[in-house]
Copies of this chain bind each other. A is one copy, B any other.
Amino acid sequence: MPNPTAAMLVIGDEILSGRTRDANMHYLAQEFTKHGIDLKEVRVVSDDRAAIVGALNALRGAYDTVVTSGGIGPTHDDITADCVAEAFGAQIDVRADAAALLQAHYDARGIEFNDARKRMARIPDGATLIENPVSIAPGFTMENVHVMAGVPAIFQAMVASILPTLTGGQPLLSQTLRIQRGEGDIAGPLGELAAEFSDLSFGSYPYSQNGVFGANIVIRGADGARVDAAIGRLAALFPEA
Contacts and interface: CB of A to CB of B under 8 A. Distances in A.
Interface of A: 13-22, 25-33, 38-46, 51, 73-77, 106, 111, 114-117, 119-120, 135, 151, 153, 172, 174, 182-188, 190-191, 194-195, 201-206, 208, 213, 218, 220
Given A25-B44, A116-B191, A218 B16 contact: no
Contacts of A38: 16
Which are the 6 A-B pairs with shortest beta-carbon distances? A116-B187, A18-B30, A18-B29, A117-B184, A76-B191, A42-B44
30 contacts: A13-B201, A14-B205, A15-B25, A16-B42, A18-B29, A19-B203, A21-B26, A25-B44, A40-B46, A40-B51, A42-B43, A43-B43, A73-B183, A73-B187, A73-B206, A74-B183, A74-B184, A75-B186, A75-B190, A75-B191, A75-B202, A76-B190, A76-B194, A76-B202, A77-B194, A77-B203, A114-B188, A116-B185, A135-B213, A153-B208
Main secondary structure of the interface of A (DSSP, over half): mixed
Q: Tell me how many chains of this kind the complex includes.
A: 2
A51 B42 CA distance: 12
Given A76-B202, A194-B76, A202-B76, A188 B115 contact: yes
B116 A14 contact: no
A206 B41 contact: no
Contact of A119 (B116, B186, B187, B218): B187
